[in-house]
Amino acid sequence: MRKYFSLVCLLGLLSCGSHKPSSDGWIDLFNGKNLDNWTVKIHHYETGDNFGDTFRVEDGVIQVRYDKYEGDFNQRYGHLYYDTPYANYHLELEYRFVGEWESTAPSYTLLNSGLMFHSQDPRTMPKEQDWPISVEMQFLAGIEPGKPRPTGNMCSPGTDVVFEGKKDPRHCINSSSETYYGEQWVKAELIVYNDSLITHKINGETVLEYTKPSIGGGVANRFDPKMKIDGTPLKAGFIALQSEGQPIDFRNIRLKELNP
């Protein structure tokens, strides 16, 4: 029944939101109190196992923390999935990088996190799959003063996109955003029209647009082959907050469904 329900949701044949929208059409995905309606999947662990209390809620914020980890980070990449898939929507959230980076995580994860979308259902991921087949709105912060490091970029684990009129072979495509330093809150917006136009906005400014997301490419590993049929258009999927070695906070996560 779950598989059938997810399929119907993905095909866009019925509204599958677990929360009713407000009068202006926005749905609060995070209730500010707990992780109800969210599911964790961390590399090396079964779906639903929130190892080390990685994702937690405090003071109305979803926190990503590693203070309960022991030993090496051991590629414990994690994702927190909202339990409803969406196809056409405008999503808003705020994020800020905080605390100390896990020094045993890969160096590229320093001041690095993201928002996955059009993702596979976490319940279809084997225990040892590292990244979900999805598209990522990547969040970065500046490391060296005066050295640009844009945020709101696109990365593509197990997927492809069309950028500037052609399929782009790069795993990540940089946005045109400013570089943000320190522990400041940054507002990110994602506007998705199924498998046509995707728009990234940072602090109200459009910083990246691309089209035609589809399954393909590399980076995602040890997935169930039935879930990766290259060339399949990505018309809908799950939304997830990322954990990959850098503490980060998320708040004010809301979504408005759009007409196709």
pLDDT digits over 6-31, tens only? 444 544 433 444 456 666 899 999 99
- Candidates 21, 16, 2, 66; CA nearest to 236 is 16
Please compute the mean of the pLDDT values over residues 170-181 and round it to a whole number: 97
C-alpha distances (whole Å) from 113 to each of 33, 244, 248 are: 22, 7, 8
Q: Is the pLDDT of residue 97 over 50?
A: yes
Please compute the mean of the pLDDT values over residues 185-201 and round it to a whole number: 97
Q: 207 is written with which tokens? A: 């910083």
Q: 154 is written with which tokens? A: 């696109």
pLDDT digits over 147-159, tens only? 999 999 999 999 9
* pLDDT above 70: percentage of residues in the chain: 91
Calculate the average pLDDT of the chain: 93
What is the 3 state secondary structure string of the chain? Answer: CHHHHHHHHHCCCCCCCCCCCCCCCEEECCCCCCCCCEEEEECCCCCCCCHHHCEEEECCEEEECCCCCCCCCCCCCEEEEECCCECEEEEEEEEEECCCCCCCCCHHHCCEEEEEEEECCHHHCCCCCCCCCCEEEEEECCCCCCCCCCCCEEECCCEEEEECCEECCCCEECCCCCCCCCCCCEEEEEEEECCCEEEEEECCEEEEEEEEEEECCCCCCCCCHHHCCCCCECCCEEEEEEECCCCEEEEEEEEEECCC
Domains in the chain (CATH in brackets) are: 2-257 (2.60.120.560)
The torsion defined by the Cα of 57, 58, 59 and 64, in degrees rounded to 10, comes to: -70
Range of lowest pLDDT (18-22, 32-36, 73-77): 18-22
Give me the DSSP letters along 16-70: --SS---TTSEEES--SS--TTEEEEETTS-TT--GGG-EEEETTEEEE--TT--
Looking at residue 9, what is its pLDDT? 52
Question: In the block, which residue shows the tokens 């109200």?
Answer: 204
- Candidates 40, 31, 19; CA nearest to 243 is 40
Phi, psi of 9 (to 5 degrees): -60, -45
